[in-house]
């Protein structure tokens, strides 16, 4: 429920004050009155108003003097002056002093209501803009870029830092960690967001096809080239080009790519026309390019050209705090897409998901949840609904190790080690008190290693 706009009516004639007050109360405004300028100033000090209606000719502080004093106190104050003695010089003086508008008596009710509504709407819009400016630090991100762990917060901070620039970014991380999603987040928060982000999976194309994919080709450039085709660099003009699996490209393509990144110019395959494109480069790799440089598989100059600003995405096993949020995100998505009733995840299954190593990272978790939604027959995802290969990779092959107690023991040990056996921190992470944690340590015979 929104609060009523507040209006202050300042006039030395009581009948004018009361009639205007009743008028605007009926229009659903909160109305206060003052019989002179001094009273108005005192009321203004106590509480701000969305709009002030003031008579120009009053004893003591005139309407024009009140206007100047109120504007000095609050430059954003919206003030409408009313007078029975209209003159062009007075109107000009009022508007120059910062009055929103200037009307004459007798007042036309409809005209005044229209002016006041327009002024109040303008003030509301200014406030909304201020709120938007205050929240400008919030990182826009794709819907499926999920996670609020400390590691992900650091990534959002890096995105916030580098996105407004045109700096080349290299995103690093294992397969399935969401490198393309971070690239999209960088694009969404950049000045290029109204233009396309073009994705190229460099590892999925042979060298000859990759060259045509990146630079385009002319009609007849090779067998099957029946039409001229734009390349990805040309399509990314004023936008962003995302080069995934950049470490897989050949030596020849590395040379051409370096030249294009530096000059922003290229020619289509089979063509002579030099094409200029204004693009930003974001690249990604799942292997250490430093090793490829040492082995001679990747050009050092291209490596340094790409590695201007690095964003590293940790594997899912290192940000277990995000597992539950991700699991429920995928659960809701697949329940909706399969027209199934919304489900929850059992404590046993959730504890296992948090404890599993996830070698395939977020992609593997997504597939596991999809499979669980398909086979689940109840309103709850259980341990048995998870893919068999996941459950087989639990602590050991013994049946005892598949029990709830075994999973809990493993999880407690993991959190203890992560917090260097700090009992206070561990109990806080686990969401239990210290006494409960000590009881569990005794129950599972867990002791701090020497």
363-379 tens-digit pLDDT: 999 999 999 999 999 99
CB 318 within 8 A of CB 151: yes
What confidence tens digit (pLDDT) does each residue in 287-323 have? Answer: 899 999 999 999 999 999 999 999 999 999 999 899 9
| 240 close to 126: Cβ distance less than 8 angstroms | no
Dihedral pair phi/psi, residue 414, rounded to 5°: -65, -45
Fold agreement (150-314, 318-443): no
pLDDT at 2: 52
Q: How confident is the model at residue 401 (pLDDT cuts 50, 70, 90)?
A: low
Q: How far is CA 153 from the centre of its chain?
A: 11
Instruction: Please give the C-alpha separations between residue 37 and each of 92, 111, 119, 315, in angstroms, as whole numbers.
Output: 21, 25, 21, 67
Q: Evaluate the CA torsion angle 271, 272, 276, 282 in order and state its sign.
A: positive
Q: For residue 131, what pLDDT is reported?
A: 62
Helix (H, G, I), strand (E, B) or coil at 326: helix
Mean pLDDT confidence for 323-333: 94
| Res. 398 pLDDT band, cuts 50 70 90 | very low
Pick the CATH number of 318-443 from 3.40.190.10, 1.10.8.60, 1.10.600.10, 3.10.310.40: 1.10.8.60
**Token pair listed for 273:** 């026309």
Spatial separation of the C-alpha atoms in residues 41 and 32, rounded to whole Å: 13
Instruction: Give the pLDDT score at 395.
Output: 40
Average pLDDT on 13-41 reads 87
For residue 230, with 0-12 CB atoms within 10 Å meaning exposed, 13-18 middle and 19 or more buried, which class applies? middle
Number of H helices, E strands in the chain: 19, 16
Place of tokens 């405004």: 29
How many whole angstroms separate alpha carbon 181 and alpha carbon 363?
12
pLDDT tens digits along 29-75: 889 998 988 888 888 888 778 888 888 888 888 888 888 888 888 88
pLDDT above 80 (res 183)? yes
Give me the helix-helix angle, 179-188 and 150-162, nearest 10°. 40
Q: Of 6-20, 94-108, 274-288, which one has max mean pLDDT?
A: 274-288
Q: What is the per-residue pLDDT for 201?
A: 92
Q: Tell me: the pLDDT tens digits for 149-162?
A: 999 999 999 999 99
What is the rounded (10 degree) CA torsion for 37, 42, 45, 47? -90
Residue 159: the pLDDT is 94
Q: What are phi and psi of 292, to 5 degrees?
A: -65, -35
| Phi, psi dihedrals of residue 106, rounded to the nearest 5° | -70, 140
Asked if 199 and 246 touch (Cβ cutoff 8 Å), the reply is no
Reported pTM: 0.60
Q: Which two tokens stand for residue 348?
A: 């046993």
Strand 51-55 versus strand 6-10 pairing type:
parallel
The percent of residues in the chain predicted with pLDDT above 70, rounded, is 91
Q: Where are the domains of the chain?
A: 6-134, 150-314, 318-443
**Sequence-separated (6 or more) residues with CB below 8 Å from residue 365:** 316, 323, 326, 327, 330, 353, 358
Q: Is the pLDDT of residue 90 over 80?
A: no
Gap between the Cα atoms of 209 and 189, Å rounded: 31
Per-residue model confidence as pLDDT tens digits over 92-145: 777 777 888 888 877 777 888 888 888 888 888 877 766 655 444 456 777 778
Mean pLDDT of the chain: 86
Please determine, for residue 411, whether its predicted confidence score (pLDDT) is greater than 90: no
pLDDT for 356 equals 85
Q: Give the pLDDT band of residue 413 (cuts 50, 70, 90).
A: confident
Look up the CATH architecture of domain 6-134. 3-Layer(aba) Sandwich (3.40)
Beta bridge partners of 275: 266
Provide the token pair at 357: 């190593």
The DSSP secondary structure of 286-301, one letter per residue, reads SS-HHHHHHTTSS-HH
Q: How many CA atoms lie within 13 A of 140 on its CB side?
A: 12
Place domain 150-314 in its CATH homologous superfamily: P-loop containing nucleotide triphosphate hydrolases (3.40.50.300)
pLDDT (0 to 100) of residue 1: 37
β-pair partners for 269: 217
Burial of 7 (0-12, 13-18, 19+ CB in 10 A): buried
Q: Which residue has the higher pLDDT, 204 or 257?
A: 257
């Amino acid at each position: 429920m929104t609060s009523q706009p507040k209006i202050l009516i300042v006039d030395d004639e009581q009948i004018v004050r009361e009639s205007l007050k009743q008028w605007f109360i009926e229009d659903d405004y909160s109305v206060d009155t003052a019989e002179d300028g001094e009273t108005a100033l005192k009321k203004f000090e106590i509480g701000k108003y969305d709009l002030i209606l003031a008579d120009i000719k009053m004893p003591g502080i005139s309407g024009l003097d009140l206007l100047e004093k109120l504007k000095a106190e609050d430059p954003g104050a919206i003030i409408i002056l009313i007078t029975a003695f209209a003159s062009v010089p007075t109107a000009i003086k009022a508007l120059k002093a910062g009055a929103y508008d200037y009307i004459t008596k007798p007042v036309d009710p409809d005209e005044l209501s229209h002016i006041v509504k327009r002024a109040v709407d303008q003030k509301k819009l200014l406030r909304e803009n201020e709120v938007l400016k205050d929240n400008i630090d919030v990182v826009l991100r794709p819907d499926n870029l999920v996670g609020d762990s400390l590691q992900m917060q650091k990534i959002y901070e890096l995105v916030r830092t580098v996105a407004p620039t045109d700096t080349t970014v290299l995103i690093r991380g294992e397969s399935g960690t969401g490198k393309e999603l971070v690239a999209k987040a960088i694009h969404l928060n950049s000045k290029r967001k109204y233009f396309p982000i073009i994705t190229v999976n460099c590892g999925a194309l042979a060298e000859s096809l990759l060259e045509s994919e990146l630079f385009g080709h002319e009609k007849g450039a090779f067998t099957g080239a029946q039409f001229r085709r734009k390349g990805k660099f040309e399509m990314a003009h004023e936008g962003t080009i995302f080069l995934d699996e950049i470490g897989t490209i050949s030596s020849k393509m590395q040379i051409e790519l370096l030249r294009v990144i530096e000059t922003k110019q290229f020619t289509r395959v089979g063509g002579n026309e030099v094409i200029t494109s204004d693009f930003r480069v974001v690249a990604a790799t799942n292997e250490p390019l430093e090793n490829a440089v040492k082995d001679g598989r990747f050009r050092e100059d291209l490596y340094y050209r790409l590695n201007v600003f690095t964003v590293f995405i940790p594997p899912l096993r290192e940000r277990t705090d995000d597992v539950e949020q991700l699991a429920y995100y995928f659960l809701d998505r697949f329940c909706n897409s399969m027209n199934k009733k919304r489900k929850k995840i059992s404590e046993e299954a959730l504890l296992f998901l948090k404890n599993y190593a996830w070698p395939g990272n977020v992609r593997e978790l997504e597939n596991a949840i999809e499979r669980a939604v398909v086979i689940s027959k109840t309103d709850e995802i259980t341990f048995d609904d998870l893919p068999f290969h996941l459950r087989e990779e639990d602590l050991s092959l013994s049946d005892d190790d598949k029990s709830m107690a075994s999973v809990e023991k493993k999880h407690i040990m993991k959190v203890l080690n992560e917090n260097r056996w700090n009992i206070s921190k561990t109990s806080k992470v686990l969401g239990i008190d210290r006494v409960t944690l000590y009881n569990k340590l005794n129950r599972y015979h867990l002791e701090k290693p020497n």
